[in-house]
């Protein structure tokens, strides 16, 4: 029983994730401006900007660059940069990727190959008046060179974010039925609900000492079966959410707004005597917030 409960919880999580993803498909994402900075650079100087920490599998970046004089833009591993900062007199030896030279105005993009953090770097391409030792302390250290005509480097960072349809309906699992009842020859019917969104998920859990036929039917059709104006066999042909011979089972269905109000229909499959009790539990994914944003259906 514990294993079944754990399986049910896992199944609910999977279905909830799927439902949320399906109802967030209308969101539109794009690069939007984040923070920016303007750096006065000296000839041959090096500037390190933002550190990027992509998720597993890597990620993309998008940076706007405007510079008075040409610069070289490249990505370096953040741990290599940090090590160079800790040993400023050691020779500079970075592993660069996405190198772009002679930049004065561009939108710089790079796909970072892994989750290993990287840092964006900028190097002024002008020659210094005096040779510069190839060490991070000489490149960055104060007073290493006489300050001359500055290279005003403007860096505009961007983030990937939602720009349209950003507020979406939110969904969660809700229990709509949980009952233990005495089984009789008369069908058991539960008028459950009208779907509030298409492909709405429903989970039905049944436990019974005798086999049952369980079906989710449009309410008008369930009424006709109950009144014996339509046979159960004909009604079952009109629904895909049905199970026969059920004694202990959890099964899942989905239905749409156009299906209208739904009824859970349960009937014994065999003749029996004595007192028999069955339990039924029904859960569904319902809209719980921003429900006014649900897309209306055409009549």
**DSSP codes of every residue in the chain:** -HHHHHHHHHHHHHHHHHHHHHTTTT-EEEEEEEEEEEEEE-TT-EEEEEEE---TT-EEEEEEEEEEEEEEEEEEEHHHHHHHHHSTTSBP---EEEEEEEEEEEEEEEEE-SSS-EEEEEEE-SPPSS---SBHHHHHSTTSS---S-EEEEEEEEEEEEEES-S--EEEEEEEEEEEEE--SSPEEEEEE--SSTTEEEEEEEEEEEEEEEEEEEHHHHHHHHTTSS-HHHHHTT-S-EEEEEEEEEEEEEE-GGG-SEEEEEEESS---S--EEEEEEEEEEEEESGGGSPPPP-
| 228 and 278 together in one domain | yes
| Residues 115/56, Cβ–Cβ less than 8 Å | yes
CA distance 162 to 41: 34
The 10s digit of each residue's pLDDT in 178-201 is 999 999 988 999 998 888 888 899
* Residue 296 forms part of a structural domain: no
Cα 249 to Cα 243: distance, rounded to the nearest angstrom: 9
Cα–Cα distance measured from residue 271 to residue 186, given in angstroms and rounded to the nearest whole number: 11
Q: What is the per-residue pLDDT for 99?
A: 97
Q: Does residue 192 sit in the same domain as residue 72?
A: no
Structure tokens at 136: 């991070």
251-298 pLDDT tens trace: 899 888 888 899 999 999 999 988 999 999 999 998 888 888 776 544
Domain-ending residue, one of 164, 197, 217: 164
Question: What residues are paired with 238 via a beta bridge?
Answer: none
Tell me: do 99 and 204 sit in the same domain. no
Q: Specify the number of domains making up the chain.
A: 2
**The predicted structure's pLDDT at residue 92:** 73
* Predicted pLDDT of residue 178: 95
- Across 236-263, b (16+ Cβ under 10 Å) vs e yields beebebbbeebeeebeebbbebebeebb
- The answer to whether residue 299 sits within a structural domain is no
**What integer pLDDT is reported at residue 24 of this predicted model?**
47
> Is 212 among the domain residues?
yes
pLDDT of 255 reads 84
CA distance 75 to 77: 7
The answer to whether residues 278 and 176 belong to one domain is yes
Domain boundary residue, one of 164, 199, 216: 164
Query: Is 68 within a domain?
Result: yes
Instruction: Decide if pLDDT at 31 tops 90.
Output: yes
Asked whether residue 286 is domain-assigned, the answer is yes
> What is the distance between the alpha carbons of residues 61 and 39, in angstroms, rounded to a whole number?
20
Average pLDDT over residues 77-103: 89
Average pLDDT over residues 145-165: 84
State the Cα–Cα distance between residues 120 and 114, nearest whole angstrom. 15
Q: CA 255, CA 239: separation in Å to the nearest integer? A: 10
Domain holding 242, by residue range, is 2-24+169-291
279 and 176, same structural domain?
yes
The number of beta carbons lying within 10 Å of the beta carbon of residue 78 is 16
Same domain for 284 and 179: yes
* CATH code of 253's domain: 2.60.120.680
Cβ partners under 8 Å of residue 201, min gap 6: 15, 18, 19, 252, 253, 254, 284, 285
Q: Calculate mean pLDDT across residues 152-165.
A: 92
pLDDT for 7? 47
Residues 181 and 225 in one domain: yes
Q: Examine the domain organization and report whether 174 and 136 are in the same domain.
A: no
User: In terms of domains, do 204 and 235 share one?
Assistant: yes
- Decide if 92 is inside a domain: yes
What is the mean predicted confidence (pLDDT) over 237-243?
89
Q: Are 242 and 133 part of one and the same domain?
A: no
Residue 21 reports pLDDT greater than 50: no
Question: Distance of CA 91 to CAs 99, 137, 138, 139, 205, Å?
Answer: 20, 9, 10, 11, 68
Are residues 13 and 101 part of one domain? no
In a domain, 297, yes or no: no
Write out pLDDT tens, residues 99-153.
999 999 999 999 999 999 999 999 999 987 665 555 665 566 544 445 567 899 9
Percentage of the chain lying above the pLDDT 90 cut:
54
pLDDT (tens digit per residue) in 205-227: 999 999 999 999 999 999 998 88
**Which of 161, 50, 55, 35 minimizes the C-alpha distance to 112?**
55
pLDDT of residue 69: 96
Q: Give the pLDDT mean for 163-172.
A: 86
Q: What pLDDT digit, counting tens, does each position of 32-54 carry?
A: 999 999 999 999 999 999 999 99
């Amino acid at each position: 029983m514990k294993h079944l409960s754990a399986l049910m919880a896992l199944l609910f999580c999977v279905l909830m994730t799927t439902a949320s993803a399906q109802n967030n498909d209308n969101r539109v994402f794009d690069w939007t401006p984040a923070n920016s900075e303007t750096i006065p650079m000296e000839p041959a100087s090096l500037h390190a900007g933002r550190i990027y920490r992509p998720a597993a599998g890597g990620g993309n970046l998008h940076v706007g660059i405007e510079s008075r004089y040409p610069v070289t833009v490249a990505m370096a591993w953040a741990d290599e940069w940090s090590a160079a900062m800790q040993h400023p007199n050691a020779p500079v030896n970075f592993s660069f990727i996405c190198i772009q030279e002679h930049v004065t105005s561009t939108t710089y993009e790079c796909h970072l190959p892994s989750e290993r953090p990287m840092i964006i770097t900028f190097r002024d391409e002008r020659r210094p008046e005096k040779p510069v030792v190839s060490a991070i302390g000489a490149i960055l250290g104060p007073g290493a060179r006489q300050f001359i005509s500055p290279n005003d480097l403007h860096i505009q960072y961007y983030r990937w974010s939602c720009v349209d349809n950003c507020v979406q309906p939110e969904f969660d699992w809700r229990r709509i039925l949980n009952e233990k009842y005495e089984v009789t020859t008369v069908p058991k019917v539960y008028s459950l609900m009208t779907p509030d969104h298409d492909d709405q998920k429903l989970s039905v859990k049944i436990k019974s000492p005798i086999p049952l036929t369980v079906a989710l039917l449009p309410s008008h059709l369930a009424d006709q079966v109950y009144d014996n104006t339509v046979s159960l066999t004909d009604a079952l042909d009109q629904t895909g959410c049905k199970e026969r011979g059920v004694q202990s089972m959890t099964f899942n269905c989905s239905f749409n707004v156009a299906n209208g109000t739904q009824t859970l229909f349960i009937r014994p499959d065999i003749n029996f005597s004595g007192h028999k009790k069955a339990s039924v539990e029904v859960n569904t994914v319902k809209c719980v917030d921003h429900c006014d944003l649900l897309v209306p259906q055409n009549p």
